[in-house]
Amino acid sequence: MIVDIVRTHPVVLVGGVLQENPFYVPPDEFLVELRSREAGSRASRSETAGEPEGDVARLSDMLRDLLALGTLSALEAAREPAAVVERFAQAVLSLPFVELVFMKVESSPNWSGVEVLRAREVLRPSPSADDLQRAWLQASKLGEEVPRQLVREFAGLGELSLFIVPLGSQARYGWVAAGARAPASLDSFQRSVLEVGAQQLSATLRERQLAHLRAAETALRESEERFRLAFENAAVGMALLTPEGRFVRVNPALCRILGRQEKELLGTDWPSVTHPEDVPRVHEAVRQLTSGEKDSVILVKRGTHPDGTVVWVQNSLSMTCDADGRPRHLVVLIEDITDQKRAEEALRLSEARFSKLFRNSPAALALGTLHDGRIIDANDRWLELFGYERHEVIGRNSSELQLWADARERAGVIERLIRDGVVRDHETRFRKKSGEIREALLTFVRTELPGEREPINLSMILDDTDRRRAEVERARLDSITDSALAHLSLDDLLRELLARLRSALKAELATLRLVDENTREFVLRAVDGVPLERIAGIRIPLESSFPTPLDSPFLVNDLPRPEPGREDWYARVWSLLDLPLRATVGVPLLVEGKQIGVLALAATRTPFTKEDQRLLQVVADRVAPAIERGRLVETVGESHRRLAALSQRLVDVQETERREIARELHDEVGQLLTGLLFKIEGHTSAPETSRMK
C-alpha cells in the first residue's frame, strides 16, 4: 500500500532530495487500476496490500531503492536497448537483498532477446562462466513458470531463492528474476521494490514501443501524405491497379497522358487504354510480377486516347503484396515518351539516311581514328577503289594496309588536319590492294562521333588518275589541233595534222583517206612518214574488212603479214612501204553520222592503246568537219574554175563563130552578093546599061 501511496504523488522527497516521481501514476489511470483491483483481477496486488507494513525508516529505504530503479526513467528511449537492460540489472543487483539477477527482455521492434545474468561478487564460491551458462539455461525457462517465488538448485550456484517478476502483462516484454542464496526469501517490501521497478521498466519498454509505433504511424502518415502529394503533383503519370489490371487510383498526369478523365480511367482496365498490338506484352509483364518472376518491369508501349491518338509511354511496373505475400496492387509509373520516340525515330531515319548516303555515296568515303588511322568504316566505293573486302580493312590502320604510296606523307596531312580541322583536295598517291599506284585527291574532315573516344577522320578520296591522264591527253590534243591549223589550206592542214599525230603517238606512218563516192573507195588524201606518191595510187574498197573494217574505230597490235601471192591493197601497201608494221590504230571521219574518210596510224614497235584511239577519235571529230568544209571549198573552187573555163570557152566559140560569120559574110556572101549585083547591073545596062549607069 505504501508503495501505491508513493505512486499517487507526482513529486517525492526522499533523503532530502526533491525529485520527480518516476513511479507516479496519473489519477485517471490509477483509479482505473484501483477498480480493476477491486474486481479481483490483480491478486498479487491484493496480496501485497494485505501484508503488514514496516516502519517509516524501512519505507524510506525501500523508496530509495525504488528510486534507484526508477532512474531508468532517465534512460532515454534512444539509448542502446542492451544498455537499458544492463542498467536495470545493475540497479536490481544493487538492492541489498539481491545477490543475483536473471533478465530476459524481448521487446519489439528491435529489442530481440536481450538476456542478462548478473551476480554479485559476494557469491562465494564465485561461479565459473560454465556455471553461469548452465544457470542461465535453467533460468531461461523461469518466465514460463507460474510460481513467482521459488527455490531451485542451480548447477554451480547451489540453491537459490528467486522472485520472478513479469515485464508487462503476460510477460510480453520478458521477465526479471532476482534472488539470493537460499533459504533467504524476499519479504513484501522487497518484492514491491522489484515489482514497481519492473513496472517502471515495463513502462519504459511500453513507452518505447509506443513511441516506436507512434513514430512508425507518423512516418506512415507522413509517407502516405508524401505519397499522396507526390501522386497528385507528379509530372509523370502514376496509377494503382488491381492485380487483374483495373485502375484503382490514377493521378492527374496520367489523365493528361491518356487524354481521359479520372472517372473514365477508374471505370476501365489497363488493356483498354493500350494499343491492341501491345496488350499481350502488358499481360506478360503483369504475369511476371504476379508470379514473382520479376520484382519490377520496364515496359515501353503505346497508349491510346479516346479519339484514337496514340501516345508512347514508358511504364515502370512493380507489385505490392499484402502481409501474406499475395499480390495487392500493381504500381505503375507512366512517362510520356512520345516526343522522345519521335526524336528517336527522326534520329534513326537520319542515321539510316546518313548510313545509306555513306554506303552508296559515289565518292569513296572512310571513317578512321585520327591518330592511328584505324579504319572504322568504309563505303562500297572506297572498297572498290582500293580493291579490298570490308572485313579486310575494318579495324586495321592505313600503315598496315600500306594505303599511302609514301607512308611519310600521312604525318604531315594529319598534322594539318589536327591544326585546321580540315584538309581539302590534297594531291597524293595511294596504293591499291593489287599494288597499283593511283593518283588521288584527298579531303579529310576532323569530327567527333558518339561512342568514339578519340577524334574521327572522315576521308573522301577521289581517284584522280584518269582525270590527270585526260588532262595530259587534252594537252596533247591541244598541241595537235591548236588554232594555228585553222589558217592552213586543207592539204597543208592535213599534212600538219598527220605529222603531229605521228609524232605524238610515236607512229611511223599516218594516213588520211577520203571516201570517193563515185568509185566507193577510200582514196589517200594525205600521208606523213612516207612520200605521198609512194602509196597514192592505192585505193581501198569501202567494204574492205582485212585486217579490220574501216567504218568503225580499230586497234590492231598484231598486224599480220600479207600472205604470199596476195595482191590486194594490203599486200601492195606492205610491198610499197617495206616496213615491218606491227600495229595500227584508226578511227572513221564522220560528218553528221556519215563517214567521209578514215584517219589511221601505223607503227613498227609501239603498241597502240585505247587512249591513243580515243585521242585519235577526238582529233578526227574535230578535224572531220574542217576536212569536209575544205573539200567542199575545193569542190566549189573547182566548179568556179570549170565555170570560168566554160565561160571562156563560150566567149571563144562565140568570137570564132562571129569571125566565121564575118569571114563568110565577107568572103562568101559578100562575093555572092557582089556577083549578083554585077549580074543585075549587067542585065540592066545592056538595054538599060545607059539607065543603069
Partner 1 sequence: MALGRARHVCALFRDRDEWYEILVPFIQEGLQLRDRAFHIIDGRRRAEHLDRLRQAGIDAEDAERRGQLEVTGWLEVRGWDEAYLRGGRFDQHAMLAFLEAALKRGKAKGFRLTRLIAEMEWALSGLPGVGDLLEYEARLNYILPQYDDAVT
Residues lying near partner 1 in the complex (CB under 8 A)? 1, 4-6, 8-14, 16, 18-21, 25-27, 30-31, 34, 53, 56-57, 59-61, 63
| Least CB distance to partner 1 at residue 63 (A) | 5
For the record, the C-alpha cell of 99 comes out as 545477490
Identify which of residues 56 and 323 has a Cβ nearer to partner 1 in the complex.
Answer: 56
Give the nearer residue to partner 1 in terms of CB position, either 13 or 363.
13
Residue with smaller CB distance to partner 1, 66 or 497: 66
3-state SS assignment for residue 69: helix
The nearest distance, CB 27 to partner 1, in angstroms, is 4
Provide, rounded to whole angstroms, the least separation between the CB of residue 180 and partner 1: 24
Q: How far is the CB of 83 from partner 1 (least distance, A)?
A: 25
**What is the rounded CA–CA span in Å between residue 515 and residue 232?**
100
CA distances from 548 to 322, 471, 505, 543, 595 (A): 100, 30, 20, 10, 16
Q: Smallest Cα–Cα separation from 99: which of 63, 145, 135, 52?
A: 135
**Of 227, 210, 219, 127, nearest to 172 (Cα)?**
210
Plot region of 320 (φ>0 → left; ψ -120 to 50 → alpha; else → beta):
beta
Compare residues 97 and 522 and give the one whose CB is closer to partner 1.
97
Considering beta carbons, is residue 18 or 39 the nearer one to partner 1?
18
Task: Report the nearest approach of partner 1 to the CB of residue 18 (Å).
Answer: 5
Q: How far is the CB of 14 from partner 1 (least distance, A)?
A: 5
CA–CA separation, 467 and 282 (whole Å): 63
User: Cβ closer to partner 1: 6 or 600?
Assistant: 6
What is the closest distance, in whole angstroms, from the C-beta atom of residue 55 to partner 1 in the complex?
9
Give min distance, CB of 10 to partner 1, in A.
4
Pick the closest to residue 517 from 583, 597, 451, 580 (CA basis).
597
Residue 403 burial class via C-beta count within 10 angstroms: exposed 0-12, middle 13-18, buried 19 and up: buried
- Shortest Å distance, C-beta 192 to partner 1: 14
- Nearer to partner 1 by Cβ, of 19 and 149: the residue is 19
DSSP 364: E
Q: In whole angstroms, give the CA distance from residue 673 to residue 44.
A: 205
3-class DSSP state for residue 404? strand
Length of the chain: 693
Angle 178-184-188 from CA coordinates, rounded to 5°: 65
Return the axis-axis angle of helices 56-70 and 188-233, rounded to nearest 10°: 30
Work out how close the CB of 333 gets to partner 1 at its nearest, in angstroms, rounded to a whole number: 53
> What is the grid cell recorded at 178?
532476482
Query: 115 near 140, Cβ under 8 Å?
Result: yes
For the bound state, the minimum distance from the C-beta of residue 319 to partner 1, rounded and expressed in Å, comes to: 54
Identify which of residues 3 and 139 has a Cβ nearer to partner 1 in the complex: 3
Distance CA 197, CA 94 (A): 13
Report the residue number, 21 or 107, with the smaller CB distance to partner 1.
Answer: 21
Q: Smallest gap, in angstroms, from Cβ of residue 204 to partner 1?
A: 20
Min dist CB 198 to partner 1, Å, is 20
**Whose Cβ is closer to partner 1: residue 23's or residue 247's?**
23
Nearer to partner 1, 4 or 464 (CB): 4
Please, which residue, 45 or 275, has the CB nearer to partner 1?
45
Minimal distance, residue 197 CB to partner 1, in Å: 17
Write 282-285 long-range contacts (CB < 8 A, 24+): 282/245, 285/315, 285/317
Distances (CA, A) of 342 to 88, 311, 312, 333, 347: 69, 10, 9, 21, 8
Cα atoms in the Cβ-side hemisphere of radius 13 Å centred on 533: 0
CB 442 within 8 A of CB 413: yes
DSSP assigned state of 274: B
**Nearer CB in complex with partner 1: 60/674:** 60
How far apart (Å, rounded) are the C-alpha atoms in residues 46 and 2?
Answer: 13
Q: Are 107 and 184 in contact (CB under 8 A)?
A: no
- Give me the least distance between CB of 317 and partner 1, in Å please: 57
Burial of residue 243 (number of CB atoms within 10 Å: 0-12, 13-18, 19+) = middle
**Per-residue burial over 92-124, b = 16 or more CB atoms within 10 Å of its CB, e = otherwise:** bbebebbbbbbbbbbbeeebeebebbbbeeebe
Kindly tell me which of 1 and 357 has the beta carbon lying closer to partner 1: 1
Neighbours of 590 (CB within 10 A): 17
Q: Which of 156, 153, 174, 152 is nearest to 165 (CA)?
A: 174
Q: How far apart are the first and last CA of the chain?
A: 223
State in angstroms the smallest separation of the CB of 15 from partner 1.
8
Min dist. Cβ of residue 30 to partner 1 (A) = 4
Instruction: Compute the chain's Rg from CA coordinates.
Output: 65
Report how far residue 86's alpha carbon sits from residue 75's, in angstroms, rounded to the nearest whole number: 11
Residue whose CB is less far from partner 1, 16 or 325: 16
Q: 404 forms bridges with which residues in the sheet?
A: 430
